[in-house]
């Protein structure tokens, strides 16, 4: 083991400036026995660091390597397992418990003893030793680090060096002394025994000198002892004098203690008096309510501004007195209890008086406001509630006081306000909407046709009566269209622009009157009832929530403020209860406008979208924003229904079998709808809804134009397609609707294709036999006969060609063209004015056919001298004269 220890010191610890103090051969408990060494080391330089190092033999060679090191200060417990019996097992508790089995109990005990000594010296007994024999834990001599020389070979404990370390290296000074000594002796190296004998003789000489020195100093020691005895006698005399002095001062001490105790009691009494005076002043200053405040609370005039101000100040003072933070023990004083009881009675009395007064004000407001309804019954304006709000806002601070002191009465006032104001607003709003309906339908006499009655203010007419009026109005304004279209509602062309503008202004005025009314009431509720209406949580109350049977959100304890989201919900609930009639009345008005003219939904969609957008910018969760949003959904449905009705009317169009078709009614109606919509939706927020409607309508127009063209018997299919798609193309070009650019190109293409088809089909008739002849020629050429050999065919020789050409002299050609012009004129309608366009296309096509015939004659009948009996110039003259004559 000594050899291993020296090897470890040399190879592992000396290069790291460490000294190996103890070593134990161990293996881990419970596993395969892989031996290793636990080493206790200290550093050679200050500050000294003590470590436990695990050293393991390398697998690749016969040398040792340092595997892991723990600082001794991290060792918490050393468990030797058994303090009586010999047991090689022991545990070291670092950050976790390491279980070891030593190769022998002696090695384990020596290692634990070294750890204990290092703990005593460097860690001041911080490690707990469990199940360790007391013989191992013997106290070391008390030495300080300063008394031990610092050096490479410094011992762990000054006096028990051999127990800690069997081998100790020489330090530099010792090596130097030995070298000097050996240099003085020639035989130090050659004869070690002679050198050792010499050293022994010199040591004996030194011991003798030490003994003689001690014996010579005995006389001086005796003199020193005599002086010490005399000093002790002097000390005894001084102690006797000190005892007498102490007895003399004892009486003085007792008197001073009495004086000190008396002063302490006086100081304590003064302190208590000051504290008592402070407590009394605190109670008087904070719990004394002025007589003027008490009188204001009991008898103050709540109708005058001065009285309201006095009551407000008194209520605030009372609240401060009641909310004063009492110090410990104050609530046990009888006077404090009586004063608190008095304050509670004053609060109850004033809260009851304030609630009764405000309830009377609410009732009086309903009566006063009813008297002003008559003057607004003929004007489309809502009564102004600003004076009432202004008068009530004088009580806002008192309402805040009531909310914090008596929430029950505050909640009761809130419900009463909603009840009174909801009835008042219901009368005002219904009368207001009655006037709006009358203005929409005309005079009062005309409004009776719609089932409107001024006293009730409700739309009492049935849907059938409105439909009846729609049909009557449609018959008066557009009898021809009524014969073609079987419609349940009036079409857009049944009303003048002035009527629609009138409706638009009335609807805008209705919204413009309702919006400030709702905003003013919401602002008043927030200020009067002290509710926060900003920074609300997401979400809003919808029309489906029933508020009649609901209760307002309550606060958890009296005087505790409501959360912001709850106060926001409370404002919204109050607004819904107060203005519960707005949404039904708006829906009735929308239904009436839609029955008067289905195109009114366009005006309403734009106006309502703008107002919803404005309301949402202010507060997206407010009552106004939610209500207008719900109504906007209804308007959007009506708008979609209007589009669907137009498409349905397209599909139900029936054309006359005896008259030419011309421009179809739904094509004209689409033009009217698009023109109206573009003027209404200019710079509107909901342009996307219109673009979707355009797409649906134009597809319906395209499909149904083709359907009618296929069913047409009087007018050729190509004429129906050409005229209507030309009209559609002209409409889209004029309106410049960006979302219908593809449809505009499609309409132009269809118009061009059917124009060309119609021209080709019509031109086959004026030179019918000539056409058939040359079709036969082309057929022979197609069969493989060379063009110059066609003239040898019996049916297509020169004589047959001359015979066919003679049947079409210039006079006959002109006559045929004239008949063709008349026929085209009968096919085309006047309103689209395409006759000259078609005639010019026919002229160009006829000239193209003429040139084609001449080319065939030149190729198939070369040198025959056969030519047409009219020229291209003759064709131009014929077409021009025919067009001018008609």
Quickly state the pLDDT bin for 467 (edges 50, 70, 90). Answer: very low
Q: Among candidates 44, 48, 94, which has minimal Cα distance to 74? A: 94
| pLDDT score of 146 more than 50 | no
| pLDDT score of 544 more than 50 | no
Contact assessment for residue 676 and residue 602, using Cβ atoms and an 8 Å cutoff: yes
Q: Which tens digits make up the pLDDT trace of 646-692?
A: 888 888 888 777 677 888 888 888 888 888 888 888 877 778 888 89
Q: Which tens digits make up the pLDDT trace of 690-729?
A: 889 889 999 999 999 888 888 887 788 888 888 898 889 9
pLDDT score at 439? 87
pLDDT score at 289? 84
SS3 label, residue 213: helix
Average of per-residue pLDDT values in the chain? 79
| pLDDT score of 799 more than 90 | no
Q: What distance in Å separates the CA atoms of residue 8 and residue 1, rounded to the nearest whole number?
A: 10
Q: Among candidates 422, 686, 382, 391, which has minimal Cα distance to 515? A: 382
Least confident among 306-310, 760-764, 872-876: 760-764
Enter the DSSP assignment of 552.
P
Q: Are strands 128-130 and 64-71 parallel, antiparallel or unpaired?
A: unpaired
Q: Which tens digits make up the pLDDT trace of 573-599?
A: 999 999 999 999 999 999 998 888 888
User: Phi, psi at residue 130, to the nearest 5°?
Assistant: -115, 140
Quickly state the pLDDT bin for 54 (edges 50, 70, 90). Answer: very high
pLDDT score at 486? 36
Quickly state the pLDDT bin for 372 (edges 50, 70, 90). Answer: low
Angle 218-287/192-216 helices, nearest 10 degrees? Answer: 80
Q: Which tens digits make up the pLDDT trace of 419-455?
A: 999 999 999 999 999 998 888 887 544 444 444 443 3
Least confident among 488-497, 702-711, 794-803: 488-497
Q: Which tens digits make up the pLDDT trace of 725-744?
A: 888 998 999 988 888 899 99
**What percent of the chain is predicted at pLDDT more than 70?**
83
Contact assessment for residue 586 and residue 483, using Cβ atoms and an 8 Å cutoff: no
Enter the DSSP assignment of 769.
H
Quickly state the pLDDT bin for 358 (edges 50, 70, 90). Answer: very high
- Written as one string, the DSSP assignment of 800-830 is HHHHHHHTS-HHHHHHHHHHHHHHHHHHS-T
Mean per-residue pLDDT, 74-83: 89
pLDDT score at 756? 84
Mean per-residue pLDDT, 870-879: 78
Enter the DSSP assignment of 45.
S
Least confident among 230-234, 277-281, 297-301: 277-281
Residue with tokens 């010999």: 86
CA angle 569–571–577, rounded 5-degree value: 100
Q: What distance in Å separates the CA atoms of residue 403 and residue 409, rounded to the nearest whole number?
A: 8
Q: What distance in Å separates the CA atoms of residue 82 and residue 84, rounded to the nearest whole number?
A: 6
Least confident among 83-97, 210-224, 384-398: 210-224
Q: Which tens digits make up the pLDDT trace of 176-197?
A: 777 777 777 766 666 777 778 8
Angle 396-405/305-322 helices, nearest 10 degrees? Answer: 30
| pLDDT score of 309 more than 80 | yes
| pLDDT score of 254 more than 60 | yes
Mean per-residue pLDDT, 803-809: 82
pLDDT score at 354? 92
H helices of 185-217, in order, are 192-216
CB within 8 Å of 507: residues ≥ 6 apart: 589, 593, 600, 603, 604, 607
Angle 396-405/407-441 helices, nearest 10 degrees? Answer: 130
Quickly state the pLDDT bin for 469 (edges 50, 70, 90). Answer: very low
Quickly state the pLDDT bin for 42 (edges 50, 70, 90). Answer: very high
Enter the DSSP assignment of 658.
S
pLDDT score at 32? 66
């Amino acid at each position: 083991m000594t050899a291993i220890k020296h090897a470890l010191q040399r190879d592992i610890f000396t290069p790291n400036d460490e000294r190996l103090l103890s070593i134990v051969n161990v293996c881990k408990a419970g596993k395969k026995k892989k031996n290793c060494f636990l080493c206790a080391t200290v550093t050679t330089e200050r500050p000294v660091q003590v470590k436990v190092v695990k050293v393991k033999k390398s697998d690749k060679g016969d040398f040792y390597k340092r595997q892991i090191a723990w600082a001794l200060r991290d060792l918490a417990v050393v468990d030797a397992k058994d303090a009586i019996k010999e047991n090689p097992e022991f545990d070291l508790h670092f950050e976790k418990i390491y279980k070891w089995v030593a190769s022998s109990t002696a090695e384990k005990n020596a290692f634990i003893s070294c750890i204990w000594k290092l703990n005593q010296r460097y860690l001041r007994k911080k490690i707990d030793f469990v199940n360790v024999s007391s013989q191992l834990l013997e106290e070391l001599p008390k030495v300080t680090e300063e008394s031990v020389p610092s050096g490479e070979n410094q011992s762990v404990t000054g006096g028990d060096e051999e127990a800690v370390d069997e081998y100790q290296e020489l330090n530099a000074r010792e090596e130097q002394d030995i070298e000097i000594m050996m240099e003085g002796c020639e035989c130090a190296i050659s004869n070690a025994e002679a050198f050792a004998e010499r050293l022994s003789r010199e040591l004996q000489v030194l011991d003798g000198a030490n003994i003689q020195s001690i014996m010579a100093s005995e006389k001086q020691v005796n003199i020193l002892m005599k002086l010490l005895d005399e000093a002790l006698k002097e000390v005894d005399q001084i102690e006797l004098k000190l005892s007498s002095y102490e007895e003399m001062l004892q009486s003085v001490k007792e008197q001073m203690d009495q004086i000190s105790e008396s002063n302490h009691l006086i100081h304590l009494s003064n302190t208590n008096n000051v504290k008592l005076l402070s407590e009394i002043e605190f109670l008087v200053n904070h719990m004394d309510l002025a007589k003027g405040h008490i009188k204001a609370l009991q008898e103050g005039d709540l109708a005058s501004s001065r009285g309201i101000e006095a009551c407000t100040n008194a209520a605030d003072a009372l609240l401060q007195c009641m909310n004063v933070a009492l110090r410990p023990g104050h609530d046990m004083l009888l006077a404090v209890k009586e004063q608190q009881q008095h304050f509670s009675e004053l609060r109850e009395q004033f809260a009851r008086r304030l609630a009764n007064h405000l309830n009377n004000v609410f009732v009086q407001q309903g009566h006063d406001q009813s008297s002003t309804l008559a003057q607004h019954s003929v004007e489309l304006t809502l009564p102004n509630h600003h004076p009432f709000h202004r008068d009530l806002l004088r009580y806002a601070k008192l309402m805040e006081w009531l909310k914090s002191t008596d929430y029950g009465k505050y909640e009761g006032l809130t419900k009463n306000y909603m009840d009174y104001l909801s009835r008042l607003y219901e009368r005002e709003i219904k009368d207001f909407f009655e006037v709006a309906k009358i203005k929409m339908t005309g005079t009062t006499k005309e409004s009776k046709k719609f089932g409107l009655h001024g006293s009730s203010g409700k739309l009492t007419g049935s849907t059938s009566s409105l439909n009846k009026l729609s049909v009557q109005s449609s018959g008066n304004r557009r009898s021809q269209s009524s014969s073609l279209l079987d419609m349940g509602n009036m079409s857009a062309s049944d009303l003048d622009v002035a009527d629609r503008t009138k409706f638009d202004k009335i609807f805008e005025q209705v919204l413009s009157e309702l919006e400030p009314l709702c905003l003013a009431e919401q602002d008043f509720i927030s200020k009067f009832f002290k509710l926060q209406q900003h920074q609300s949580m997401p979400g809003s109350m919808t029309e489906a929530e029933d508020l009649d049977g609901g209760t307002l959100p309550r606060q958890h304890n009296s005087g505790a403020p409501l959360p912001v989201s709850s106060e926001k919900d409370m404002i919204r609930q109050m607004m819904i209860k107060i203005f519960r009639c707005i949404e039904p009345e708006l829906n009735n008005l929308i239904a009436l406008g839609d029955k008067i003219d289905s195109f009114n939904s366009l005006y309403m969609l734009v106006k309502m979208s703008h107002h919803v957008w404005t309301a949402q910018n202010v507060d997206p969760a407010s009552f106004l924003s939610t209500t207008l949003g719900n109504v906007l959904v209804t308007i959007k449905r009506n708008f979609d229904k209007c589009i669907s009705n137009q498409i349905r009317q397209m599909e139900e169009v029936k054309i006359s079998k005896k008259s030419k078709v011309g421009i179809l009614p739904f094509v004209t109606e689409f033009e009217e709808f698009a023109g109206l919509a573009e003027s209404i939706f200019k710079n509107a927020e909901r342009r996307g809804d219109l673009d979707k409607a355009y797409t649906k309508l134009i597809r319906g127009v395209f499909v149904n134009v083709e359907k009618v063209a296929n069913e047409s018997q009087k007018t050729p299919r190509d004429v129906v397609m050409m005229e209507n798609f030309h009209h559609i193309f002209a409409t889209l070009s004029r309106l410049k609707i960006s979302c219908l650019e593809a449809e505009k190109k499609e309409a132009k293409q269809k118009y061009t294709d059917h124009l060309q088809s119609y021209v080709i089909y019509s031109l086959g008739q004026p030179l019918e036999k000539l056409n058939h002849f040359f079709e036969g020629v082309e057929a022979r050429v197609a069969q493989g006969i060379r063009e110059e050999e066609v003239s040898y065919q019996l049916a297509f020789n020169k004589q047959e060609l001359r015979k066919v050409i003679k049947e079409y002299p210039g006079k006959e050609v002109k006559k045929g063209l004239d008949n063709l012009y008349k026929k085209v004129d009968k096919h085309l309608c006047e309103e689209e004015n395409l006759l000259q366009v078609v005639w010019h296309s026919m002229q160009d096509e006829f000239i193209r056919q003429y040139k084609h015939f001449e080319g065939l004659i030149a190729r198939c009948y070369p040198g025959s001298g056969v030519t047409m009996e009219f020229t291209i110039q003759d064709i131009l003259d014929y077409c021009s004269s025919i067009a001018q004559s008609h």
